[in-house]
Amino acid sequence: MDRRRQTALVLTGVVAAIAGIALAGVATQSPLRAARWLSADRQAHALAFDPTECLLRAADPLMARRIAIGRTAFRTPLLLGGQAARAGLSCNSCHRSGRGNPDFQFPGLSGAPGTADVTSSLMSSHRGDGIDNPKAIPDLSGSLEKLKISRDPANRKLETFIHGLIVEEFDGPEPTAMTLDGLATYVRALSPRGCPSSSEQPMRLAEYLSDARAAMHAAQFALDAHDPATARLMLASARSALGMIDERYVASALARDRELLRDADLELAAIQDAVDTGTTDATLRIAAWLAKMPRWVAPLERDESLSLFNAGQLAAAGRN
């Protein structure tokens, strides 16, 4: 299979089958991967709207970079690895925009919508206890009094918790020190004081593009700090964002848009290879990718109304 075909498979959200999971009662008609963990009666709204992010912005540039690293890692399934990555689950799947997810209902992992079993053998060989005991997914942007883990940076309990979540709860790879610090810094920056006046917003192409752009800048930050492993994860997050755009551009009339997305993704894969091999021009190649971005974004913006970012198109796709 050639590389372009491999990339196409990734971008269209082909997910490896997870043994023992029955999909009865879960809607899968939608071409969007997130539909796999949404019950039928919750799909329409959950796939069309996102919670708004309650993020306190940092005035200090170094703090802003740390938050950006964590926010980017939060949004890629490769952070968690294992079954979660194969299913397409990221931290953001359960904690949408850093909040909760009352619509989450993953087969074999959830009970009622909005719950997850953190000791499920489905995801973890370390913490799986063989007992079905799903718990409500907490809102990370909610009141500190309702959260069980201290966010005091002095005691580093949050870093310890996040590390255990990645490597034990999800059997994921060891995170880099920069990634772990970024995740904790991002979570600490989530606060009710950062919430916008509206609690949700329609999903739009611009948000996904913004995530991809932020991930590329985060990759540059990591390379500047001589941390190629973190940079590679940031590039993976950018590719995740492109994949989520691609799956919304499924109409036959949007074939050229999908080609543009896949060409952009191939360039990201090449930059990842450059990071892996220690090529010195990776930062310049990231800058070049960002400079070219407006050229392939313009057709996507023009055609957004034909994509599944359009609520009407999304509803029709769910009926087919």
Over residues 200-236, the pLDDT tens digits come to 999 999 999 999 999 999 999 999 999 999 999 999 9
Q: Please determine, for residue 288, whether its predicted confidence score (pLDDT) is greater than 80.
A: yes
Domain with 220 in it: 202-296
CATH of the domain at 162: 1.10.760
Summarised one tens digit per residue, pLDDT across range 112-136 is 999 998 888 778 777 777 888 899 9
Look at residue 25 and tell me if it is in a domain.
no
Regarding predicted confidence, which is higher, 149 or 177? 177
Using only the alpha carbons of the chain, give its radius of gyration.
19
Q: Please determine, for residue 148, whether its predicted confidence score (pLDDT) is greater than 90.
A: no
73 and 181 part of one domain: yes
User: How many structural domains are present in the chain?
Assistant: 2
Taking each helix axis as running N to C, give the angle between helix 205-224 and helix 61-74, from 0 to 180 degrees, rounded to the nearest 10. Answer: 120
Look at residue 155 and tell me if it is in a domain.
yes
136 and 226 part of one domain: no
Look at residue 23 and tell me if it is in a domain.
no
194 and 209 part of one domain: no
280 and 264 part of one domain: yes
190 and 118 part of one domain: yes
Report whether 7 contacts 265 (CB < 8 A). Answer: yes
Q: What was the pLDDT predicted at 4?
A: 44
235 and 134 part of one domain: no
> What is the Cα–Cα distance from 271 to 289, expressed in whole angstroms?
9
193 and 155 part of one domain: yes
Q: What's the pLDDT band for 50 if we cut at 50, 70, 90? A: very high
104 and 221 part of one domain: no
Retrieve residue 195's tokens: 């919430």
Look at residue 51 and tell me if it is in a domain.
no
Where is the domain boundary, 172, 199, 226?
Answer: 199
